[in-house]
Amino acid sequence: MELSITTPAMLFPAISLLLLAFTNRFLALSSLTRQFSQDHEHEAIMLQIQNFRKRIKLIRWMQETGVLSFFFCVLTMLFIYMDYMFIANWVFGISLVLLLISLVLSVREIHISMEALNVHLNQVLNERKQISKDMDKTAD
C-alpha cells in the first residue's frame, strides 16, 4: 500500500467530529452529575452517581485516545513529508489502532449510559407503583 500525505489528512474531519461529540457527551454528563449530587439520599441516585463516574472515566479515555490518534496522524504527515515512508506507515497504523480503541470505548460508554437510563426508569416505575398503592389505600 502506498501512503500519501492526503491519506492521514482525510481522517482529520472524522477525528475532529468524534472529539466534538465526546466533548458534548462529557459536558452533558457533567451537568447531570451536578444535578444528581444535590440529592444523594436515594439509593437510585447513588447508583446513578456511580454510573456517572464510570462514564466520565470512559469519556476521558475516549478523548485521550482520539487526541493521540490525531497526533499520530499529524506525525504520519510529517514523516511522509520527510520521506520516511517505513516509519510513516507504522505511525499511521498506530493512529488507526488508537482511533479504533476510541470507538470501542465510545460503544462501551453508550452501553453504560443505557444502564443509567434503566436505573432511572426503574426508579420512576417504583415511584408510580407506590403512588398507585397509596391511592388504593386512601380509597378504601
- According to the model, what pLDDT value does residue 36 have? 63
- According to the model, what pLDDT value does residue 51 have? 82
pLDDT tens for 110-121 read 888 888 778 777
Q: Does 43 fall in a domain? A: yes
- According to the model, what pLDDT value does residue 68 have? 95
Q: Does 1 fall in a domain? A: no
Classify residue 132 as left (phi > 0), alpha (psi -120 to 50) or beta: alpha
Stretches where the chain sits below pLDDT 50 are none
- According to the model, what pLDDT value does residue 101 have? 96
Grid cell of 44 as nine digits: 437510585
> To the nearest 5 percent, what fractions of the chain are helix, strand and coil?
90, 0, 10
SS3 label, residue 10: coil
The answer to whether 32 and 52 are in contact (CB under 8 A) is yes
- What's the structural domain count of the chain? 1
The answer to whether 107 and 58 are in contact (CB under 8 A) is no
- According to the model, what pLDDT value does residue 2 have? 80
Q: Does 59 fall in a domain? A: yes
Q: Which helix (H) or strand (E) holds 130?
A: helix 85-139
Q: Does 23 fall in a domain? A: yes
The answer to whether 62 and 55 are in contact (CB under 8 A) is no
- According to the model, what pLDDT value does residue 53 have? 86
Q: Does 26 fall in a domain? A: yes
Q: Does 75 fall in a domain? A: yes
- According to the model, what pLDDT value does residue 39 have? 57
Q: Does 35 fall in a domain? A: yes
Grid cell of 131 as nine digits: 403512588
Q: Does 92 fall in a domain? A: yes
Structural domain boundaries enclosing 75? 6-139
- According to the model, what pLDDT value does residue 34 have? 63
